[in-house]
Structure 1
């Protein structure tokens, strides 16, 4: 299983790199192939790459040498030979030069996380104490690892944590205590998987999160689970569904802000933030402005910057999400204007600091200001080195390096090589 996952991810990375370097969107490539955009998205995330006919079509469309996808060099392969070619492809990918495969320990950690998320299984726990206090501290530590962008440690920690929480929740009398903690652990897993562009496993994780949130009956846990579900929907380009989900849930929770707890307000605020970014990514200006307006209203009553389930909400995070939404809408001038005050503001959560500078880099890149964009990338890397190594940022770096044809920014090309993307 580990080998197959590594092969599929490598193929997906090759496809993604070829598309980005040609400055083509997934939608454009999908139209050329005669399929839906979600098909291209799945291929780039390493799903569906066992279909050799599809691989050949992609290779031809993007100009990828067949050998880079483990395909035979001959253009026509009879149906009888597809099994043999598939075997050659797997052998090649397992033994060839794999520039984009994750380290072996990372792949093992991912497999363990997938196993922990599968329903009906009883994954091995850590033999740590299963009392509520200890498990709550461990869930808090998982959230801290996410907010500090220590994704490697988080991926190693989550399988054992989830297994222990599931074991503790088997006692019906303890379900009320452990369902909220399990939901938060699943939410954290979803967010991590989205960072790693593994939407397939993210769907599995968010399904578990929603089930535990509903079981808990806690509106704050439910709001947090809806938030990550909307994030998964938006990543799969189901923007309208994501916006409708956030709007429907927020309508049930908003109001009487002056009488709500800080945790309640932060949960509602973070849900609205997700609505704004989903709407911005889908080009829905009206919905984006609607959510931003509601966020500002909630932020008048609360400001939290703690690494827990409802943390990092307040005026600063509202402003940061406005930057992200403006970039997504293509209003890069407005985005940079909103970002400038944040650049001088103290942002205590590393993941949020990195997010700001990455959006600034994206905005400058869209303006054609590659030098300023590269400087923003450097700041982001000092904030959270692992965040800069995730697939979305690697795509940005590859695109910027490809546009610097005269190689006027040697540091940008060095960064590109460090990240394993080459212009």
Structure 2
């Protein structure tokens, strides 16, 4: 009797594991069932803990939802007994699902990365570079690092930021304008660290950016610092706090758009778009829609597409975030419909061009159109090679390679090896 109760409890546990994985993947029972060639009732029964004794079905649904086999009571298939392509593919899918966290781990820090982190730490200011630079020169250098970010030259950006931060720290003591430039340098550092998935050190940069933004008193600088703060909160799954932070700040900045400078409007617009990302990451459709509507309104008054300090807010960028939000909600068809006109439009900033094609690849992947997804990724690589090598994109490539269980796209697997993704 006790054994029967234990078996029943285990079956219910496995059913709950399957249900949670499906919900996290934002997929319906019907969608999962169709992908596996089952009726929806079979997936429903599995989630209720019924039929879990069928190991073949369990393996299939674990593969489809990226669930490690031990989580549904199955042993991983050892290499030594891999005897047919189907079993081998199942083993590979399980391995890739378990490896996603490892893929996202940053590579060993380079000298430039270590210098950047050191520049964010508290302590005495290192000696300044040769000569005393005026505000105009420092402003030009800040514009350069922003341009490096928008063109996805992350390696050069890591080398350029530390000496700039040192020189700005020397100048900021007696200048509100230099303090604002320092806040922008810290914001850029945080954005770069987020691209590299170095969230721990990104908190250092965000803290520095917020402190300097408050010191300088410029609402534009403050809005930009709040934006990277909200970005980090959302990345760390604190989406409710991120949405609250954006909403609170936006409420203090909105209104009289026809009387605001392009710089002011661009900072506000980018903050609203960060709200879109945070809300969609948290599954809040209502908030995402509200932020998109407000951003669209702001974009009527400003269209900055140049890769400089405030230059990536425009109707184009609003549309890009609509694509990303649709993907986050699992609406791949809507994402691709929204992306279609953008694919035929010139987008000056390489980082934004790459983002469009990466989002297209995500949508194609959701639809199982792996060949189209692969082509989209190669276009993204042609726009910004370093951006495609960041951890988030490598995770996408890993998932696509895992879905191609029969290896019908050898070029996709070659690409995944080029990116260092486990195969």
Q: Tell me the TM-score normalized by structure 1.
A: 0.75
Counting only pairs closer than 5 Å after superposition, residues 123-138 of structure 1 correspond to structure 2 as: 123-127=126-130, 129-138=132-141
Q: In the TM superposition, what whole-angstrom CA distance separates every residue of 1:280-337 from its partner, at most 9, and x where no partner exists?
A: 0110000000001101111111101122332211110000010011111111111111
Counting only pairs closer than 5 Å after superposition, residues 289-300 of structure 1 correspond to structure 2 as: 289-300=289-300
- In the alignment, which residue of structure 2 is the partner of 1:108? 111
The reply on whether 1:121 has 2:127 as its aligned counterpart is: no
In 2, distance between residues paired with 1:323 and 1:416?
A: 24
- In the alignment, which residue of structure 1 is the partner of 2:248? 248
Q: Tell me the TM-score normalized by structure 2.
A: 0.75
In 1, distance between residues paired with 2:399 and 2:292?
A: 30
* Paired residue total: 336
TM-fit CA distance, 1:24: 6.8
CA contact (8 A) 2:147 2:309 kept: no
- In the alignment, which residue of structure 2 is the partner of 1:415? 415
User: Per the alignment, do residues 253 and 102 of structure 1 end up closer, same or farther by CA in structure 2, a change over 3 Å counting?
Assistant: closer
2:125 aligned counterpart, secondary structure = coil
- In the alignment, which residue of structure 2 is the partner of 1:263? 263
TM-fit CA distance, 1:103: 7.3
Q: Of the two structures, which has the highest relative contact order with CA contacts closer than 8 Å and spacing of 6 or more?
A: 2
2:302 aligned counterpart, secondary structure = coil
- In the alignment, which residue of structure 2 is the partner of 1:405? 405
1:253 aligned counterpart, secondary structure = coil
Counting only pairs closer than 5 Å after superposition, residues 222-241 of structure 1 correspond to structure 2 as: 222-241=222-241
In 2, distance between residues paired with 1:228 and 1:290?
A: 20
- In the alignment, which residue of structure 1 is the partner of 2:383? 383
In 1, distance between residues paired with 2:234 and 2:127?
A: 33
User: Per the alignment, do residues 236 and 99 of structure 1 end up closer, same or farther by CA in structure 2, a change over 3 Å counting?
Assistant: closer
* Structure 1: stretches of 5+ with no match in the other structure: 1-22, 29-57, 65-97
* Structure 2: stretches of 5+ with no match in the other structure: 1-19, 26-67, 77-101
TM-fit CA distance, 1:411: 1.2
User: Per the alignment, do residues 349 and 211 of structure 1 end up closer, same or farther by CA in structure 2, a change over 3 Å counting?
Assistant: same
Counting only pairs closer than 5 Å after superposition, residues 152-167 of structure 1 correspond to structure 2 as: 152-167=155-170
User: Per the alignment, do residues 103 and 318 of structure 1 end up closer, same or farther by CA in structure 2, a change over 3 Å counting?
Assistant: closer
Bigger radius of gyration among the two: 2
In 1, distance between residues paired with 2:131 and 2:21?
A: 49
2:304 aligned counterpart, secondary structure = coil
In 2, distance between residues paired with 1:354 and 1:247?
A: 28
Q: In the TM superposition, what whole-angstrom CA distance separates every residue of 1:183-234 from its partner, at most 9, and x where no partner exists?
A: 0000000000000001111111011000110011000000110011000000
1:327 aligned counterpart, secondary structure = helix
In 1, distance between residues paired with 2:273 and 2:411?
A: 34
TM-fit CA distance, 1:181: 0.4
In 2, distance between residues paired with 1:326 and 1:99?
A: 25
The reply on whether 1:302 has 2:305 as its aligned counterpart is: no
User: Per the alignment, do residues 413 and 254 of structure 1 end up closer, same or farther by CA in structure 2, a change over 3 Å counting?
Assistant: same
CA RMSD of aligned residues (A): 2.6
TM-fit CA distance, 1:386: 0.2
In 2, distance between residues paired with 1:257 and 1:103?
A: 44
The reply on whether 1:143 has 2:146 as its aligned counterpart is: yes
Q: In the TM superposition, what whole-angstrom CA distance separates every residue of 1:92-148 from its partner, at most 9, and x where no partner exists?
A: xxxxxx9999777x5221111111001123235432542211111111000000000
In 2, distance between residues paired with 1:372 and 1:398?
A: 16
CA contact (8 A) 2:183 2:208 kept: yes
User: Per the alignment, do residues 99 and 186 of structure 1 end up closer, same or farther by CA in structure 2, a change over 3 Å counting?
Assistant: closer
In 2, distance between residues paired with 1:277 and 1:212?
A: 25
